[in-house]
Amino acid sequence: MNNVVTGYGNLEVYKSAFGLAIKLHKITLLFPDYEKYELGSQLRRAAVSVALNIAEGYGRKDSLKEFQHYLRNALGSCNEVCVLLDIVKALGYIQEASYKEVFEEYDILGKRIYRLREKNIK
């Protein structure tokens, strides 16, 4: 890979994933108590997984195949977040405006992760 990025923390997709994980964590704290540890926990884990997979994949960037693997995992976790957002919206645990904002941000993040994967395929 021919990157000028010196660490995963400088990747824009990582910065977005990290910021969105924090945003979702705060949103889940507003869920009913019985859901903070069920759907809330699952949503938090999926959101954190996006950032973790980007970071871990970057740490293995010497192997393009491994980096691709972790980016695929990050994209899968991003999709998982979107499904969970649909579920919590249907259950009334998130306001429409927050749902639309976060869902759109994850949709954009997923596209950016996909483009990064495509860019790094030789």
Asked if 68 and 121 touch (Cβ cutoff 8 Å), the reply is yes
Q: What is the pTM of this model?
A: 0.89
Cα 70 from chain centre: 12
The span from the CA of 33 to the CA of 76, in Å, is: 27
The ranges assigned to domains in the chain are 10-119
pLDDT score of 122 more than 80: no
- Dihedral sign for Cα atoms in the order 104, 106, 112, 117: negative
pLDDT at residue 2 tops 70: no
* Of 73, 45, 47, the residue nearest 58 (C-alpha): 73
Cα–Cα dist 50/84, whole Å: 14
CATH label, 10-119, candidates 1.10.3080.10, 3.40.630.10, 1.20.1440.60, 3.30.70.360: 1.20.1440.60
Q: What is the CA radius of gyration of the chain?
A: 15
pLDDT in tens, 48-67: 999 999 999 988 767 778 88
Output the six-digit token pair for 7. 């660490």
